[in-house]
Amino acid sequence: MEYFLIFVSAIFVNNILLAQFLGICPFLGVSSKLSTATGMSGAVCFVITLATVVTYLLNRYLLVPFGLEFLQTISFILVIAALVQMVEIVLKKISPSLYQALGIFLPLITTNCAVLGVAITVVTKEFAFSGTAPHMLNLGQATVYAIATSLGYGLAMCLFAGLREHLAGNDVPKAFKGLPIALITVGIMAMAFLGFSGIV
């Protein structure tokens, strides 16, 4: 049951983009077309899940037992950078077309705050769902959280890309064209997602 609560909460209530403000840069940059948005979300989902599992294990079995928590930032970002490199190499071999489609966005996932943000959140924050006492996540819960978070990321991105495609065909005042009207649209989306708070 708790897995379900983690899942719903990460996608809707605490949406990584609209509530936690992580992963905004690629969100604003990549979302002009629905097709690139879905491709990017898929890549990010994969990296976030893999990175969360690896950094969780690193933290649990190496950093905490030796009292090295202050090395979290450095070790996590290096793990993420290495993972992204590996994903690039593997993707180039097994699916060159997807690799071409993602282009520059793949290496940029390293600097996506969402990846490092989720990795750190999962090992430092206590979670509580109605009925349970606040507690740190175990590996299974952390993995579900990572998957759900990236699904929430994908959801917000695809919704936004759809809206942007519509906006492009509309009559936007000159000063608002491009980024400003996009931001205002996201603001209204964030307001809509606020309605989910308190359901878990």
Partner 1 sequence: MSKWHFVTDGFVKNNPTFVLVLGMCPTLATTTSAMNGLEMGLATMFVLILSNIVISLIAPMVPDKVRIPVYITVIATFVTVLQLLMQAFTPAVYETLGLFIPLIVVNCIVLGRAEGFANKHSVGESALDGLGVGLGFTASLTVIGLVREILGSGSLFGWKFIAGDGILAFVMAPGAFLVLGFLMVLFNKYLAKK
Partner 2 sequence: MAAASTLKNMALCLTLVCLVCSAVVGAAYVVTVDPIAAAAQAKTTASIAAVLPEFSGTPEQGSVEWNGAKYNYYKADGAGYAIISSTSGFGGVLTLMVGVAEDGTIHNTTVLSHSETPGLGAKCTTDEHFMAQFQGFDPAVKSLSVKKDGGDLDAITASTITSRAYALAVSNAVAVFHQLTDGGQGNE
Give the residue ranges of DSSP H helices in the chain.
2-8, 24-30, 34-58, 72-94, 96-102, 105-108, 113-124, 139-168, 179-194
List C-alpha distances in Å: 148 to 10, 15, 25, 144, 153.
6, 9, 20, 6, 9
Q: Out of 66, 70, 94, 97, which residue is the one contacting partner 1 (CB under 8 A)? A: 70
Q: Out of 74, 94, 104, 133, which residue is the one contacting partner 1 (CB under 8 A)? A: 74
Asked if residue 117 binds partner 1 (CB under 8 A), the reply is: yes
Q: Looking at beta carbons only, is 90 or 191 nearer to partner 1?
A: 191
Q: Which two tokens mark 23?
A: 């992963």
Q: Is the dihedral of CA 188, 192, 197, 200 positive or negative?
A: negative
Total residues in contact with partner 1, by rule CB under 8 A: 41
Q: How far apart are CA 120 and CA 122, in angstroms?
A: 5
Query: To the nearest whole angstrom, how small is the minimum distance from the Cβ of residue 71 to partner 2?
Result: 7
Segment 23 to 62, residues that bind partner 1, using CB under 8 A:
23-25, 28
Q: Looking at beta carbons only, is 188 or 199 nearer to partner 2?
A: 199
Closest CA to 39 of 90, 86, 97: 97
The C-alpha angle with vertex 129 and arms to 127 and 133, in degrees rounded to 5, equals 70
Query: To the nearest whole angstrom, how small is the minimum distance from the Cβ of residue 104 to partner 2?
Result: 21
Q: Out of 8, 54, 120, 167, which residue is the one contacting partner 1 (CB under 8 A)? A: 120
Asked if residue 66 binds partner 2 (CB under 8 A), the reply is: no
Asked if residue 20 binds partner 1 (CB under 8 A), the reply is: yes
Q: Looking at beta carbons only, is 5 or 161 nearer to partner 2?
A: 5
